[in-house]
Structure 1
Amino acid sequence: MYPVTLTSSTVSLREFAAPDDVDAVLAIYGDPRVTEHLSFEPRDRTQVEATLTSATKAARGEPRTEYSLAAVRPTGDVIAFARLAIDTQHPGQNSGQIGFALRADQWEQGLGSQVVELLLRLGFDELGLHRIWGARSPDNHASRRLMRKLGMIEEGRIRDHLLVRGRWRDSIVHSILEHEWQPSPSPASSER
């Protein structure tokens, strides 16, 4: 499925356009506030360029197993890096993992929920997945609230899951199944 465009009333997901989106992604991935609960430290320009090069290449893969998308406001401003990765370790299991990073100046406006809801729409409505899951830092309480709000169930803790900043960190896993998915009443439009 390429290109992907999903739209809600205030946020859209679209394919990344490297190198045009480098500065916007650097404002997200280069910010220590944003990466505090992620699995990596703030990235520099070279690392962001490599990330976008990889994302745009993966977007044209056959079959496509990674959807790294720009979350944008109606103004065109990139406000988040959104990702859905299809599970290739267990073919036929029909599941995917989501993740996102929202620009710090966009926090506390409900935009993270809209970004994740669009990822869930992509996974369930467009790709026909059965299960979608995400993992968060135990200290990321905003992510916990967001996933619960969207109907994702907390499954448990993976102990010493990631080595981040020289220390082992646990991850808390949340998931939602296709029959549990309840999109918000305001329909998002989609284009392929």
Structure 2
Amino acid sequence: MALPWDFHPIEGERVRLDLLRDDDLDDLYALQSDPEVCRYLLYEPRSRERVAHVLARDAAAARLESPHDYLQPAIRDRDGRFLGTMYFELHSVDPDRTAEIGWILAPHAQGEGYASEAARLLLGLAFEELGLHRVYAELDPRNGASVALCERLGMRHEGHFVEHMWLKGEWTDTGHYAILEHEWAARRA
């Protein structure tokens, strides 16, 4: 594995993954305080103070080296506008080489392919640069947009855990999707 890995911006055709910055607070707050955006997330809409704390914490996450190290880069368009965030956490380094991926996109940016491109950039990092074996996503299966994104990325539906967690006053299911290094390589060929 190519660890440690220190964050540097990752460029795509239409998006750039970059560290969160202090001036992202308004956009991040708009995202994380929106009840519709938070509907399928693990948290309720957040206060501005909570988002400021999260921003400071996640902006400092810039190195992957050990299990539970994570990145939460901003997704930006070519003009630098904030579109959302990605999530990438190492879960195992040796011997399993596994990570989790996730995304949150601002409502105005949904349906334009930005999340697909950003996720492909992180999967490229995972498999082509870091040498990971497996990347997975866990999500609420009612979130059709995230399910469709997993499928577009070539992730396989591995499981559906019924009433897996008590969340926001109800039992919720968890969907599990994953892609392996050789599956990613075959898609890229």
Relative to the length of structure 1, the TM-score reads 0.87
% identical equivalent positions: 32
Secondary structure in structure 1 of the residue aligned to 2:60: helix
Q: Distance in 2 between matches of 1:23 and 1:137?
A: 26
Secondary structure in structure 2 of the residue aligned to 1:151: coil
Relative to the length of structure 2, the TM-score reads 0.88
User: Which residue pairs with 1:131 in the alignment?
Assistant: 134
Picking from 140, 162, 185, the partner of 2:165 is: 162
Structure 1: gaps (5+ residues): 186-192
User: Which residue pairs with 1:95 in the alignment?
Assistant: 98
Q: Distance in 2 between matches of 1:97 and 1:134?
A: 6
Picking from 79, 84, 89, the partner of 1:85 is: 89
Picking from 14, 19, 29, the partner of 2:32 is: 29
Instruction: Tell which deviates more after alignment, 130-139 or 26-35.
Output: 26-35
Instruction: Tell which deviates more after alignment, 98-107 or 114-123.
Output: 114-123
- How many residues align? The count is 183
Deviation at 1:126, TM superposition (A): 2.1
Deviation at 1:62, TM superposition (A): 5.5
Q: CA 1:62/1:117 → structure 2, altered by over 3 Å: closer, same or farther? A: closer
Q: Structure 2 counterpart of 1:82, which letter?
A: M
Say whether 1:152 aligns with 2:155.
yes
Deviation at 1:151, TM superposition (A): 0.5
Secondary structure in structure 2 of the residue aligned to 1:139: coil
Structure possessing the higher relative contact order (Cα contacts under 8 Å, 6 or more residues apart): 1
Instruction: Tell which deviates more after alignment, 131-140 or 20-29.
Output: 20-29
Structure 2: gaps (5+ residues): none
> Residues 1-192 of structure 1: matches in 2 within 5 Å?
1-17=5-21, 19-60=22-63, 63=66, 65-88=69-92, 91-182=94-185
Secondary structure in structure 2 of the residue aligned to 1:87: strand
